[in-house]
Amino acid sequence: MLGKIILTLLVIFAAVIVIKQRSQEQQPPDNKLAPVGKPPVDKMKKETSSGSQPVSDFRLAAYLFLILMFGAAALLYYQSWQDDHTILTVTLVRDGNSPAVTYEVYKYQLESRRFTTIEGTLITVADSERMEVLGLGKP
Protein backbone atom coordinates (compact mmCIF):
# COMPACT_ATOMS: atom_id res chain seq x y z
CA MET A 1 0.00 0.00 0.00
CA LEU A 2 2.79 2.39 0.90
CA GLY A 3 4.53 1.58 -2.41
CA LYS A 4 1.40 2.57 -4.34
CA ILE A 5 1.20 5.89 -2.51
CA ILE A 6 4.86 6.63 -3.18
CA LEU A 7 4.47 5.72 -6.86
CA THR A 8 1.43 7.99 -7.15
CA LEU A 9 3.28 10.89 -5.55
CA LEU A 10 6.24 10.36 -7.91
CA VAL A 11 3.94 10.43 -10.94
CA ILE A 12 2.29 13.63 -9.69
CA PHE A 13 5.70 15.21 -9.06
CA ALA A 14 6.91 14.27 -12.54
CA ALA A 15 3.74 15.67 -14.12
CA VAL A 16 4.20 18.98 -12.30
CA ILE A 17 7.80 19.23 -13.52
CA VAL A 18 6.79 18.48 -17.13
CA ILE A 19 3.98 21.05 -17.04
CA LYS A 20 6.30 23.73 -15.63
CA GLN A 21 8.91 23.02 -18.30
CA ARG A 22 6.32 23.25 -21.08
CA SER A 23 4.97 26.53 -19.78
CA GLN A 24 8.49 27.98 -19.59
CA GLU A 25 9.24 26.89 -23.16
CA GLN A 26 6.06 28.53 -24.48
CA GLN A 27 6.76 31.89 -22.86
CA PRO A 28 8.63 34.34 -25.07
CA PRO A 29 11.97 35.52 -23.73
CA ASP A 30 11.92 38.76 -21.75
CA ASN A 31 12.81 41.83 -23.74
CA LYS A 32 15.80 43.26 -21.93
CA LEU A 33 15.81 46.42 -24.07
CA ALA A 34 12.30 47.52 -23.10
CA PRO A 35 11.98 50.78 -21.17
CA VAL A 36 12.01 50.43 -17.41
CA GLY A 37 8.78 52.32 -16.74
CA LYS A 38 6.52 50.48 -19.22
CA PRO A 39 5.87 46.77 -19.27
CA PRO A 40 6.08 45.10 -22.69
CA VAL A 41 2.86 45.01 -24.70
CA ASP A 42 2.81 41.18 -24.73
CA LYS A 43 2.75 41.04 -20.93
CA MET A 44 -0.09 43.56 -20.77
CA LYS A 45 -2.12 41.49 -23.20
CA LYS A 46 -1.53 38.33 -21.16
CA GLU A 47 -2.66 39.97 -17.95
CA THR A 48 -5.77 41.63 -19.33
CA SER A 49 -6.97 39.20 -21.97
CA SER A 50 -9.47 36.49 -21.20
CA GLY A 51 -7.24 33.93 -22.97
CA SER A 52 -6.08 32.67 -19.58
CA GLN A 53 -9.61 31.51 -18.73
CA PRO A 54 -9.23 27.99 -20.24
CA VAL A 55 -5.97 27.53 -18.33
CA SER A 56 -7.65 28.37 -15.04
CA ASP A 57 -10.56 26.07 -15.94
CA PHE A 58 -8.13 23.20 -16.55
CA ARG A 59 -6.33 24.03 -13.32
CA LEU A 60 -9.61 24.02 -11.40
CA ALA A 61 -10.61 20.73 -13.01
CA ALA A 62 -7.22 19.23 -12.12
CA TYR A 63 -7.54 20.33 -8.48
CA LEU A 64 -11.06 18.96 -8.28
CA PHE A 65 -9.89 15.68 -9.79
CA LEU A 66 -7.06 15.43 -7.25
CA ILE A 67 -9.44 16.15 -4.40
CA LEU A 68 -11.82 13.52 -5.72
CA MET A 69 -9.04 10.92 -6.07
CA PHE A 70 -7.61 11.55 -2.60
CA GLY A 71 -11.09 11.54 -1.11
CA ALA A 72 -11.97 8.26 -2.81
CA ALA A 73 -8.67 6.71 -1.72
CA ALA A 74 -9.22 7.84 1.87
CA LEU A 75 -12.77 6.47 1.85
CA LEU A 76 -11.68 3.09 0.47
CA TYR A 77 -8.82 2.88 2.98
CA TYR A 78 -11.18 3.69 5.86
CA GLN A 79 -13.71 1.07 4.72
CA SER A 80 -10.96 -1.54 4.41
CA TRP A 81 -9.65 -0.67 7.88
CA GLN A 82 -13.15 -0.79 9.32
CA ASP A 83 -13.77 -4.22 7.74
CA ASP A 84 -10.45 -5.57 9.08
CA HIS A 85 -11.32 -4.42 12.59
CA THR A 86 -14.67 -6.21 12.67
CA ILE A 87 -14.87 -8.31 15.81
CA LEU A 88 -15.65 -11.97 15.14
CA THR A 89 -16.62 -14.64 17.64
CA VAL A 90 -14.59 -17.84 17.31
CA THR A 91 -15.77 -20.96 19.11
CA LEU A 92 -13.44 -23.95 19.48
CA VAL A 93 -15.25 -27.27 19.94
CA ARG A 94 -13.07 -30.10 21.20
CA ASP A 95 -13.57 -33.86 21.10
CA GLY A 96 -15.01 -35.57 24.11
CA ASN A 97 -16.72 -33.95 27.03
CA SER A 98 -14.72 -30.70 27.05
CA PRO A 99 -16.83 -27.55 26.92
CA ALA A 100 -16.60 -25.23 23.94
CA VAL A 101 -14.29 -22.22 24.32
CA THR A 102 -15.24 -18.83 22.85
CA TYR A 103 -12.83 -16.07 21.81
CA GLU A 104 -13.21 -12.62 20.25
CA VAL A 105 -10.92 -11.92 17.29
CA TYR A 106 -10.34 -9.08 14.86
CA LYS A 107 -11.06 -10.19 11.30
CA TYR A 108 -7.57 -9.36 9.99
CA GLN A 109 -5.97 -11.58 12.66
CA LEU A 110 -7.96 -14.68 11.74
CA GLU A 111 -6.04 -17.28 9.75
CA SER A 112 -6.97 -20.80 8.70
CA ARG A 113 -5.60 -22.75 11.69
CA ARG A 114 -4.64 -20.00 14.14
CA PHE A 115 -5.68 -16.58 15.32
CA THR A 116 -4.77 -13.87 17.81
CA THR A 117 -7.44 -12.78 20.27
CA ILE A 118 -8.28 -9.17 21.10
CA GLU A 119 -6.28 -9.56 24.33
CA GLY A 120 -3.21 -10.63 22.30
CA THR A 121 -3.22 -14.38 22.97
CA LEU A 122 -2.05 -16.49 20.01
CA ILE A 123 -4.25 -19.58 19.62
CA THR A 124 -3.36 -22.47 17.34
CA VAL A 125 -6.22 -24.82 16.47
CA ALA A 126 -5.41 -28.52 16.81
CA ASP A 127 -6.45 -31.08 14.21
CA SER A 128 -8.89 -32.60 16.70
CA GLU A 129 -10.69 -29.27 17.26
CA ARG A 130 -13.40 -27.69 15.20
CA MET A 131 -13.41 -23.92 14.73
CA GLU A 132 -16.70 -22.07 14.27
CA VAL A 133 -16.59 -18.42 13.23
CA LEU A 134 -19.58 -16.15 13.78
CA GLY A 135 -19.84 -12.73 12.16
CA LEU A 136 -18.31 -13.35 8.73
CA GLY A 137 -21.68 -13.32 6.97
CA LYS A 138 -22.34 -9.62 7.69
CA PRO A 139 -22.44 -7.42 4.59
Which tens digit of pLDDT belongs to each residue from 110-135? Answer: 998 999 999 999 999 988 889 999 98
Alpha helix ranges (H) inside 37-52: 41-48
Residue 131 CB contacts under 8 Å (≥ 6 apart), including other chains = 90, 91, 92, 93, 125
Which pLDDT score is estimated for 109? 93
Instruction: Work out the burial of residue 105: count CB atoms within 10 Å of its CB; fewer than 13 is exposed, 13-18 middle, 19 or more buried.
Output: buried
**Confidence label for 31 from pLDDT (cuts 50, 70 and 90):** low
Which pLDDT score is estimated for 48? 46
Query: pLDDT at residue 33 above 60?
Result: no
3-state secondary structure of 106: strand
To the nearest whole percent, how much of the chain has pLDDT over 90? Answer: 41
Backbone angles phi, psi at 58, to 5 degrees: -65, -40
Per residue in 56-85, pLDDT (tens digit) is 888 888 899 999 999 999 999 999 999 999
Which pLDDT score is estimated for 54? 65
Which pLDDT score is estimated for 74? 95
Flag whether the pTM goes above 0.95.
no
Query: pLDDT at residue 97 above 90?
Result: no
Query: pLDDT at residue 94 above 60?
Result: yes
* Residues pairing with 103 in the sheet: 90
Neighbours of 90 (CB within 10 A): 19
3-state secondary structure of 113: coil
How do 114-117 and 101-110 pair as beta strands?
Answer: antiparallel
Residue 19 CB contacts under 8 Å (≥ 6 apart), including other chains = none
